[in-house]
């Protein structure tokens, strides 16, 4: 599961998807029981216990504020996702949280694995209701979720 780059609140908290209005943890709660009501470390344990890795395409980049649209593309330094994949040969699917994550993944990484672009869980992507996002996430991740009953 790849995001783009942590936002200001996530950096402050040192937690992925730390902004309470971000729907990521709500969706993970619906899909695998890793909801925002749990302590952060327990949410992470539920993800990894279910075979889900969580990371960002960008290791670093200059971005005033937290919007992906504000990322200075020339400043992007990607994470070593290919190295991660080489160390995890059972990796079967790359899921990108939003269009920017998917675009940057294709530009900097593009592993020979299936990749799915999921609707962004960011509150900046408010045009789609949370339930609709959940339905799309559930459908896209069904092959992985079926192998890890929660």
pLDDT in tens, 105-125: 999 998 999 999 999 999 887
| Cα–Cα distance measured from residue 34 to residue 44, given in angstroms and rounded to the nearest whole number | 8
Which one is catalytic: 10, 22, 100, 121?
A: 22
| Chain segment 73-99, per-residue pLDDT in tens | 999 999 999 999 999 999 989 999 999
| Chain segment 23-66, per-residue pLDDT in tens | 999 999 999 999 999 999 999 999 998 889 999 999 999 998 88
Active site residue 79: no
- Global confidence as pTM: 0.92
Asked whether residue 15 carries a pLDDT value surpassing 90, the answer given is: yes
Provide the 3-class DSSP secondary structure of residue 60. strand
Query: What does each C-alpha distance from 47 to 5, 34, 108 come to in angstroms?
Result: 19, 7, 25
Indicate the domain borders of the chain. Answer: 2-145
Provide the 3-class DSSP secondary structure of residue 97. strand
Selection from 34, 9, 16, 19 nearest residue 137 by Cα? 34
Burial class, 17, CB count within 10 angstroms (exposed 0-12 / middle 13-18 / buried 19+): buried
| Cα–Cα distance measured from residue 150 to residue 147, given in angstroms and rounded to the nearest whole number | 10
> Is it true that domain 2-145 has CATH number 3.40.470.10?
yes
Cβ count near 6 (within 10 Å): 20
């Amino acid at each position: 599961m790849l995001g783009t780059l942590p936002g200001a609140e996530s950096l402050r908290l040192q937690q992925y998807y730390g902004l309470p209005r971000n729907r990521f943890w709500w969706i993970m709660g619906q899909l695998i029981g890793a909801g925002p009501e749990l302590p952060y470390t327990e949410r992470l344990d539920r993800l990894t216990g279910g075979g889900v890795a969580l990371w960002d395409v960008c290791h670093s980049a200059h971005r005033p504020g937290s919007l992906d649209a504000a990322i200075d593309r020339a400043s992007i330094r990607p994470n070593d996702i290919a190295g991660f994949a080489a160390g995890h040969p059972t990796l079967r699917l790359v899921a990108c949280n939003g269009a920017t994550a998917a675009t940057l993944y294709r530009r900097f990484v593009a592993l020979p694995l299936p990749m799915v672009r999921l609707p962004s869980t960011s509150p900046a992507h408010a045009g789609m209701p949370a339930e609709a996002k959940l339905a799309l996430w559930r459908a896209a991740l069904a092959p992985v979720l079926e192998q890890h009953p929660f």
